Amino acid sequence: MKTCLLFVLFLLAGFVSLQAQDQIYTTDGQIINAHILEIKEHDISYQTYGNPEGPIYYISKNSIQKIIFESGIEETFNHTGQQIDLYGDEKTNSQVTSPDRIYLTDGKVIECEVVEKKRFGISYIPVNTDNNYVEYISNTKVDRIEYSEGEVEYISGNPNNRDRRKDPRDFSYLSPHYVSLNVGPAIPFGAYGSSQGGAGAGFASTGFDVNADVTYYLFRGLGFSATVGYTFNPYNDIAMRSEVLNNVMGQNPTATDINVNVGDWHNFYAMLGVGYYNDFGRLILDYKAMGGFLYTAFPTSVAKFQDSGNSHRVEFKDNSASFLFGGYSGFRYFLTRKWSVRGGITMLFGKGSFAGIKRTEYINGEYQGESVFSGTIEQPISWIMIHAGVCFTLGK
């Protein structure tokens, strides 16, 4: 009697345990013991029973025969024997192939027909639409694709699928977005690099440029970039030195021990651009048109001399803020999925508008006053820049 009672209690405990979970009956005969999280229009999200901290799974309603909930309520699916295919036509269950499903990194699921997998995205036709319009989504937003025949392809991966992420040496999917740091020679040309005389002449020689670039492509034909940089160009100071020396002698004819130093060109810029790219396996070609802001410091000159037993220091300097525009063409070559090397050529055009170089004088270290050394100077500033750099890929 006691043995029989224990057996009955065991059966009841098993029955209660069985009912304390949702059960999903699929059209192919499987029974999934689950905890259902959400029922949406086209699919159901759930976690496996007994693993509340585990991954979230999704299953299409088209693949479900019925669900028996924990409360005992039963809901039946596909009871009409008909469903809608990708193009809106009615078919019997025996004729219908389950749609492909694109699982996004934010947890959403797109039921669709995958039309084409591209290097940077996927073209697809959503289910249950009134048209056959092809839509597109970037690979960086896709976790995986579950095809109707059962094959699963992991694109970006997520924390629950770290072992299925793309290997760094796997270049089948590459993100076009990147951050880069670049350096190279800045070659002045036009009036900026000419040998004209006078205080306002360019007369700059080849220096260097360093810049940082962030570029994000919405799709192949449209990308946005932001670039900040610094350019240094040595200044051939013969003309400026002569102008300063004449000024000192004109205002201080008894000056002795005259020493004149002339600095170089310092330019800072910030630009926004739009771009386009072509991809050839690991090799990507980038093209950009850019416009932005240029800050230019005119080469600062300093004259030191003695006059009537006093030490004199005279500074000549000015700066300008103006518009800058140009273009870039270059390449990136992927070493890994995250890192690539970059090379390219940039041409930039601007104009420094100097209201007038200021002459500031100090005697024995005390400020004496300020005057205008020269009138307005309009100085075209232009470079050809050859860059080499390293890029870090944004995205998966």
Sole residue written with tokens 């980038």: 286
- In one letter, which amino acid is 366? E
- pLDDT recorded at residue 26: 84
- Computed over every residue of the chain, the mean pLDDT equals 81
What is the tens place of the pLDDT at every residue in 193-209? 875 544 445 578 999 99
Domain ranges across the chain: 19-79, 82-165, 178-393
Mean pLDDT of 380-384: 93
Highest average pLDDT, of 84-93, 177-186, 368-377, comes from 177-186
Instruction: Report the largest interatomic distance among the alpha carbons of the chain, rounded to a whole angstrom.
Output: 130
Percentage of residues in the chain with pLDDT exceeding 90?
35
- Contact residues for 330 (Cβ-Cβ < 8 A; gap 6+): 285, 286, 342, 343, 344, 345, 387
Architecture of the domain defined by 82-165: Roll (2.30)
95 vs 310: which has the higher pLDDT: 310
CATH number for the domain running over 19-79: 2.30.30.100
Task: Determine whether 294 is exposed, middle or buried from the number of CB atoms within 10 Å of its CB (0-12, 13-18, 19+).
Answer: buried
SS3 state at 5: helix
> Who's near 396: CB < 8 A, 6+ residues apart?
105, 139, 140, 155, 156, 157, 165, 166, 173, 175
* Predicted pLDDT at 195: 56
With residue 383 as reference, give the H or E element that holds it: strand 377-393
Q: Is the pLDDT of residue 378 over 70?
A: yes
pLDDT of residue 83: 40
The predicted model scores a pTM of 0.59
Is residue 317 scored above 70 in pLDDT? yes
Q: Does the structure show a pLDDT above 70 at 11?
A: no
pLDDT bracket for residue 116 (50, 70, 90): confident
pLDDT at 229: 97
pLDDT at 312 over 80: yes
Q: Under a CB-based contact definition with an 8 Å cutoff, are residues 175 and 166 in contact?
A: no
pLDDT over 50 (residue 6): no
| 359 pLDDT higher than 80 | yes
How many angstroms separate the CA atoms of 385 and 334, rounded? 22
Instruction: Give the range among 97-106, 178-187, 244-253 with minimum mean pLDDT.
Output: 97-106
Residue listed under structure tokens 């800050």: 295
**pLDDT band, very low/low/confident/very high, at 125 (cuts 50, 70, 90):** confident
Q: Which amino acid is at 272?
A: L
Domain 178-393 of CATH type 2.40.160.20: yes
Rounded percentage of the chain residues whose pLDDT exceeds 70? 81
Using alpha carbons, select from 33, 74, 29, 281 the residue that is nearest to residue 173: 281
Q: Looking at 220-310, list the stretches that DSSP marks H as alpha helix, in order from N- to C-terminal side.
A: 238-251
Of 14-18, 158-162, 191-195, 325-329, the range with the highest mean pLDDT is 325-329
Q: Do 82-165 and 178-393 come out as alike in CATH topology? A: no
Instruction: Indicate the pLDDT class of residue 285, thresholds 50, 70 and 90.
Output: very high
Q: Which residue has the higher pLDDT, 264 or 84?
A: 264
Q: What is the mean predicted confidence (pLDDT) over 251-260?
A: 91
Residues 48-95 have pLDDT tens digits of 887 777 777 778 777 788 888 887 888 887 544 344 333 344 433 333
